[in-house]
Amino acid sequence: MAFSRVPLSRAPLCRHSYLSSLLPFSFSHLTLSLLPNRTRLNNLSASLSTQEPAPSIDSSSANPKQSNRWKPMCLYFTQGKCTMMNDPIHLEKFNHNCSGELKVSSPTVKQTRSQQLDFFLVLDLEGKVEILEFPVLMLDAKTMDVVDMFHRFVRPSAMSEQRINEYIEGKYGKIGVDRVWHDTAIPFEEVIQQFEAWMVQHDLLGKELNGRLSRAAFVTCGNWDLKTKVPQQCEVSRMVLPPYFMEWINLKDIYLNFYKRRATGMITMMKELQIPLVGSHHLGIDDTKNIARVLQHMLADGALLKITARRNPGNPENVEFFFRNRIR
């Protein structure tokens, strides 16, 4: 499967408030995060300053002599909070080009099947006790390009500060992103408000659909994210489960039925498809990117993605699974 480099494109910023998430910003396709697990993302807090946010710019055009060497992704930028976009030193040190390696070549696109949906929302949550990270990549089902990205770190609501600090140090400290998490994490209910504004901006939600997705479906690596964790977090946050979380596509089940072999997780699928692991495993935005790469590979091989699980609207705890052969 061939991927080619593409220039950074402009896309919207989602800010903290519901309405301001509709403001324009230089925020594009995908985080480029090639950091080995043993390497720390040093001084990421440098991308957050007390000055007002800089005007949106394309960092690649601002620095035409930009080299191809790997640079750590600015995780403030992925959340629309980088205020140093006019600082050439910062731009030289940190990557702000989210298009990454996920642009698919034209010959590869021609091999794909026509899909029943227009967009896939690749989601991979992080956090066993409470959700800590909420990353989503929006893929065009026809071109396989990443249209946009939504990424937020999530602050637990039912844990003490001491427990949160221990939790984050154990989860993110080893890969050096604990500081950016503390600087940017917001409560789950705020994340959902901003996520809904982001979906509305992309015409993925409509009043006539009673809050359900239009022309799109979530794609997860397993059922845990939407079957188990989101409902648990909604209960902890005292929220009603949003209707757009009622159905999803489990990529493991699609993989099993398309290739006729089992893959228990993302790593197994990547090894079998000979896709190298990129970034830090269990950093949600990196895992989401790797799942998207598996999805692109499967689409290029001719896979047809269908809904694999749906909740009963009258009894949301009751989930119907549509594939007889599925990963349990």
pLDDT at residue 43, as a whole number: 39
Give the other-Cβ count within 10 Å of 166's Cβ: 13
pLDDT digits (tens, 9 = 90+) for 242-296: 999 999 999 999 999 999 999 999 999 999 999 998 888 989 999 999 999 999 9
Distance CA(52)–CA(62), nearest Å, equals: 19
Q: Evaluate if residue 115 carries a pLDDT over 60.
A: yes
Q: Are strands 3-4 and 103-104 parallel, antiparallel or unpaired?
A: antiparallel
Q: Are strands 216-220 and 247-250 parallel, antiparallel or unpaired?
A: parallel
Are the C-beta atoms of 266 and 221 separated by less than 8 Å? yes
Are the C-beta atoms of 138 and 146 separated by less than 8 Å? yes
Whether residue 214 is contained in a domain is answered as: yes
What's the pLDDT band for 235 if we cut at 50, 70, 90? very high
Q: Is this structure's pTM higher than 0.85?
A: no
Q: Which amino acid is residue 33, in one-letter code?
A: S
Whether residue 326 is contained in a domain is answered as: no
Indicate the burial class of 62 (C-beta count within 10 angstroms; 0-12, 13-18, 19 or more). middle
Are the C-beta atoms of 172 and 158 separated by less than 8 Å? no
Mean pLDDT of the chain: 81
Whether residue 148 is contained in a domain is answered as: yes
Whether residue 126 is contained in a domain is answered as: yes
CATH number at residue 296: 3.30.420.10
What's the pLDDT band for 101 if we cut at 50, 70, 90? low
Whether residue 75 is contained in a domain is answered as: yes
Domain that holds residue 232: 3-321
Whether residue 328 is contained in a domain is answered as: no
pLDDT digits (tens, 9 = 90+) for 120-170: 999 999 999 999 999 999 999 999 999 999 999 999 999 999 999 999 999
- Count up the domains in the chain and report the number: 1
Report, as residue numbers or ranges, the catalytic residues: 126, 282
